[in-house]
Structure 1
Amino acid sequence: MKKTFSLQLSPEEAYDEANFKRSVLKKAGLRVDTPYTFARQTRRSIDARGRKVLVNVEAELFINESPGSLLDHFPEYKNVSQSSPLLIVGAGPAGLFAALRAIELGIKPIVIERGKDVRARRRDLAAINKEGIVNPDSNYCFGEGGAGTYSDGKLYTRSKKRGDIRRIMEILVAHGATEEILVDAHPHIGTNKLPVLVAKLRESILDAGGEILFETRVEDLILEENEIKGVITHTGEKIKGIGVILATGHSARDIFHLLHHRKVLIEAKPFALGVRIEHSQNLIDRIQYHCEIDRGPYLPASAYSLVQQTDYQGKQRGVFSFCMCPGGFIVPAATSPGELVVNGMSPSRRDSKFANSGMVVSVELEDLPQFQKYGPLAAMHFQAEVEKKAWEMGGKTQVAPAQRMVDFVNRKVSSSLLDTSYQPGLESVEMREVLPDFISARMAMAFKAFGQKMKGYLTNEAQLIGVESRTSSPVRIPRDKESFEHPQIKRLFPCGEGAGYAGGIVSAAMDGERCAEKLIEMYVKR
């Protein structure tokens, strides 16, 4: 027999297995020592609005019955080695899930990835962290798993398609993620566990007869009469297929240049730009959990989400937190020499003493009049110019420009900086010399408002580290709303973050699946 319950528990009851079972049995009116019972959580969220932190839990109690698996979807990948090939450019979440979906539908994927496999990629990450050496084909953005591999592995999304989201989550669980991601309201995997999971996704593709070509950069398209037949790699090899899913991520500027050069329709797109803000995790915990000393042994590291509308020179723009990483690290995310970009990530335990978040300002195309000469690449050139300035201000290495938070608001260069999780190091600068006026002025306004919303957030015990500029793609590759096909080039299916249609691991994975389905539906005869 199975019973379901909605419970409001203390952290000790929700996060300790024995305490949790006792709470469920008590709710069911059963003795704590009732035999042949099994309790599990199916949904969990923290409510920290009151002075006392509570955890809302949806639970199942099984009495004299096996609980079975939480998984509804067990993927089956039949052998497709002799099937028609479908080309997928990019092995991030969009590309990998497009490949897996193609296999489920009986089509052979050939995934073309400019970067290295997840294990070999580590050496290049060490080089950028310790020596400031940027490999333009292998870094925190490029390589197996894309930018998501070395990230917090946050799995929440604004998408309303709950069934599709659950399917993605269950495929991740089937490849090594814990069932906790099916339970938590804000699930994450962790940068220490993602590489193993990504390697298992690769194994599924290869075991089913798909191909993955690492260290293979696409340098041209094979176009015939407004139809794409395949791609040409950096070695001159021509690879052809029934269609091309372009899932290259938000930082593949060479692909945007290539499309523009080949007169393939692309568009400039609004995005957001700012900095990473780093506090001590203990400070954020004390603000969010209303605790005097620390959060205790049961509660996870706390997160926050902030947004503020600002008016500057008569224009309204939002300032908002982005990709908040509790108990995390700030990392150098440049993809070319001569630029400085930062991003955040967290291990699964989120046990760093630092909390960091992107804090960014919405950038509309009308904010960039001097860049309009670049046409559809206008926002990308603006982005690149700010990144170059940050690199110069940091000393032309991967040392990042930084400033204490109150000092920034008060236009004062910080005489000293705080300890940081950012391994290449920091250089004290006036961040207004790095950021354009319309960005820095809005951020200063927003910080004052955030200090009112979260008492203690605006403090000189926090610092700005810049720049956070790869929030989303500054270019959109258009596609038909129904077919997902490029409106000008047949058999070309723009996909994921780089094309402007996703924002994170789950939404990119979902988009990859949909692109594979649409392409196969249109161009494979059944």
Structure 2
Amino acid sequence: MQKEIELAISPDFIKDENYIIQQGSIKLKISPNRIKGIHIRKRSIDARSRAVVYRIRVVFFIDESPILHQFTSNLQQVKDAKPVIIIGAGPAGLFAAYRCLEIGLKPIVLERGKSVRDRRRDLARINRDGVVNPESNYCFGEGGAGTYSDGKLYTRSDKRGNVEKVLSIFVEHGADADILVDARPHIGTNKLPHIIEDMRTRILEMGGEIHFDSRVDDIIVQFDEVTAVTTADGKRFEANHILLATGHSARDIYELFRKKNWQLEAKPFALGVRIEHPQSIIDQAQYHCSTRHENLPPAYYSLVEQVNDRGVFSFCMCPGGIIAPCSTEPDEIVVNGWSPSKRNNITANSGTVIQINLEDIPNALNNPFALLDFQRKVEQKAHQLGGGQLVAPAQRMVDFVENRLSQDLPVNSYKPGTKSADLNEVLPSFVHEALRGALPIFGKKMRGYYTNEAILVGVESRTSSPIRIPRDKETLQHPQIKGLYPCAEGAGYAGGIVSAAIDGINCVDALYKSL
């Protein structure tokens, strides 16, 4: 017999299985000797009161030996199967390729960037020398932006598809099984590249293809139906089904659509800054302590406030993380954040952003590129203020709110370097004013948050795509082009690793129905 119950466990005892069995036996009103094993199905931290506890959902095996079901992918050999071209090897592209293997289609993945191993050299140059390779950076390359910018797997996409399946595939390829349990699962930038490599090996073993340094420059259409793509190195790949999973920074794809007069739409996105605090400040505020308990992870936060009828909210919070340079061109500044698997850096950072709506930008309803052009100008202005080599404009938090140039900046995790600047010169006035109003309020919600020990680094601008590539709600194909499936973040239909992976799977399923 199996019984599942919820328990509240002190951090002192969260690793003590005998204690958990004892607490379960009390709640179940049975002898602990009858419990032959347990399985923790879900685990979260409840820090709402001063006594922080873990809330765990536990399956107790009563009078029977525990049986745990292990997920194993059922893949087919597809070397000679019908081809599907997948443009982009981010989470959407890789999980689309995996789904192809499950249903007997041959994925041909074309990735403009490099493999995870070769990509490291370009990331080192970005951090060390402030030099951007437009084809290989934090956004472009095997695994996409998530590979080297954190690997956070938290999502609210349960209604879009099977979240547990996505997490299970990660575990099958080397991720810690805790991601199946934790309320806010996280792999870590140090571990995710190896998992991505293992997925690539499996795809190739089953007859799929993955081509790096293969930027797609043209999509060939005959009689309103896709037939092939060509790459920058002159190669041609033929197929009647193409998944477009290029990510939100592949602006050349949008230009290709404009050139061919294919439908695009302007889409709201969010813009702001990365805010970094000492992790100890966040721990003390969230865990109501002077020193974080050794069995508690570095604390995270989620903040939101309405200022001037605009939502200001934290985004992609990275406990124990660093701020990363995510520019894709040498004349722009774009920042993001990531954490290693142990989240053991001394700083915590989060995007803090404001929604940019179509009505904020002149002619956005008629010009699909209006918000993209706006985004680009902000990023270029940040580059100008930083002075080059990816140095980012920055300001202490209280100085920012009080419209005062910082005389100096705190030591921070952004490796190319920061330069004291008035962020009012970078951010549009309505963004600047909303941020100025929200930060002191965040400080009232979270003790210690509002402090000049915190640094604002500009700009956080690639929260999502400012352009949507439309698709039919049923077939998921572009309304003008049969066989073309706009997918995930680059097309405006996902936001994060898991939701992008799910959208990749959904597009392959829609494709399969059309055969």
TM-score (norm 2): 0.97
Equivalent of residue 300 in structure 2, options 292, 300, 303: 303
Contact 1:88–1:112, Cα closer than 8 Å, also in 2: yes
1:115 and 2:119 correspond:
no
Read off the aligned partner of 2:232 and give its amino acid letter.
Answer: H
The question of whether the paired residues in 2 share the 8 Å contact of 1:84 and 1:242 is answered with no
Distance in 2 (CA, whole Å) between partners of 1:20 and 1:432 is 53
Contact 1:275–1:360 at 8 Å: present in 2 too? yes
Structure 1 residue matching 2:14: 3-state secondary structure: helix
Question: Can you give the 5+ residue segments of structure 1 that lack an aligned partner in the other structure?
Answer: none
Distance 1:408 1:518 in 2: 48
Q: Is the 8 A contact 1:77 1:204 kept in 2?
A: no
Structure 2 distance, partners of 1:66, 1:152, is 38
Match runs of 1:211-250 below 5 Å? 211-250=209-248
The code of the aligned residue for 1:150 comes to Y
Q: CA RMSD in A?
A: 1.7
156-165 or 400-409: which moved more? 156-165
* Residue 335 in structure 1 maps to residue 328 in structure 2: yes
Shift of 1:16: 4.5
Question: What is the DSSP-based 3-state SS (H/G/I as helix, E as strand, rest coil) of the residue aligned with 2:145?
Answer: helix
Aligned to 2:10: 10
Amino acid of the structure 1 residue aligned with 2:341:
S
Pick from 347, 353, 361: which aligns with 1:360? 353
- In the alignment, structure 1 residue 320 sits paired with structure 2 residue 317: no
Contact conserved, 1:24 with 1:39, CA < 8 A, in 2? no
Q: 1:521 to 1:352 in 2, by over 3 A?
A: same
Identify the residue that residue 37 of structure 2 maps to in structure 1. Answer: 38
Matched-pair contact (CA < 8 Å) for 1:14–1:57? no
- Residue identity in the other structure for 2:234: G
- Counting only pairs closer than 5 Å after superposition, residues 262-273 of structure 1 correspond to structure 2 as 262-273=260-271
Would you say the 8 A contact 1:496–1:512 is kept in 2? yes
Moved more, 172-181 or 373-382: 373-382
Partner of 1:68: 67
SS at the partner of 2:155? coil
Contact 1:13 1:23 in 2 (8 A): no
Query: Is 1:347 the equivalent of 2:337?
Result: no
State the alpha-carbon separation in 2 of the partners of residues 51 and 154 from structure 1.
Answer: 27
Matching residue's letter, 2:266: A
SS of residue paired to 1:147: coil
Superposed CA offset, 1:101-121 (max 9, x none): 011111000000000011111
Task: Report the alpha carbon displacement of residue 15 of structure 1 after superposing the two structures with TM.
Answer: 4.0
Partner of residue 466, structure 1: 458
Inter-partner Cα distance in structure 1 for 2:354 and 2:211: 37
1:57 maps to 56
Deviation at 1:149, TM superposition (A): 0.6
Q: 1:324 to 1:412 in 2, by over 3 A?
A: same
CA contact (8 A) 1:114 1:214 kept: yes
Q: Secondary structure at the match of 2:368?
A: helix
Q: Distance in 2 between matches of 1:506 and 1:353?
A: 27
What is the alpha-carbon distance in structure 2 between the residues aligned to residue 187 and residue 167 of structure 1? Answer: 14
Partner AA of 2:53 in structure 1 = L
Q: 8 Å contact 1:44–1:57 — kept in the other structure?
A: yes
Q: Gapped runs of 5+ residues in structure 2? A: none
> 1:189 is matched with which residue?
187
Preserved CA contact (<8 Å) 2:266 2:364: no
In structure 2, the CA distance between the partners of 1:373 and 1:516, relative to structure 1 (3 Å rule), is closer
How far does residue 23 in structure 1 lie from its aligned partner after superposition? Answer: 3.8
3-state DSSP class of the match of 1:146? Answer: coil
The Cα shift of 1:513 comes to: 0.3
Change beyond 3 A, Cα 1:136–1:162: closer
Helix, strand or coil for the counterpart of 1:110?
A: strand
Q: Which residue of 2 aligns with 1:47?
A: 46
Q: Secondary structure at the match of 1:242?
A: coil
Aligned with 1:391: secondary structure? helix
Alignment partner of 2:398 out of 393, 396, 406: 406
Identity among equivalent positions (%) equals 54
Which of 164, 184, 200 lines up with 1:166 in the alignment?
164
TM-aligned CA distance change 1:472 to 1:15, over 3 Å? farther
Single out whichever of 332-341 and 219-228 deviates more from structure 2: 219-228
1:106 alignment partner in structure 2: 104
C-alpha distance in 1, partners of 2:69/2:253?
41
| Structure-1 residue corresponding to 2:409 | 417
- Are 1:12 and 1:19, in contact at CA under 8 Å, matched by a contact in 2? no
After superposing the two structures, state which structure 1 stretch, 158-167 or 498-507, moved more.
158-167
Query: Aligned partners of 1:216 and 1:510: how far apart in 2?
Result: 24
Q: Which TM-score applies when normalising by structure 1? A: 0.95
3-state DSSP class of the match of 1:366? helix
Given that 1:15 and 1:299 are in contact with CA atoms closer than 8 Å, whether structure 2 keeps it comes out as: no
By how many angstroms is 1:145 displaced?
Answer: 0.3
CA distance in 2, matches of 1:331, 1:345: 7
Q: Relative to structure 1, is the Cα distance of residues 517 and 334 closer, same or farther in structure 2, using a 3 angstrom cutoff?
A: same
Count, aligned residues: 515
Query: Residues of 2 paired with 1:16 and 1:346: CA distance?
Result: 27
Kindly tell me: are residues 204 and 332 of structure 1, through their superposed partners in 2, closer, same or farther at Cα, counting changes over 3 Å?
same
Deviation at 1:455, TM superposition (A): 2.4
The answer to whether the 8 A contact 2:471-2:477 is kept is: yes
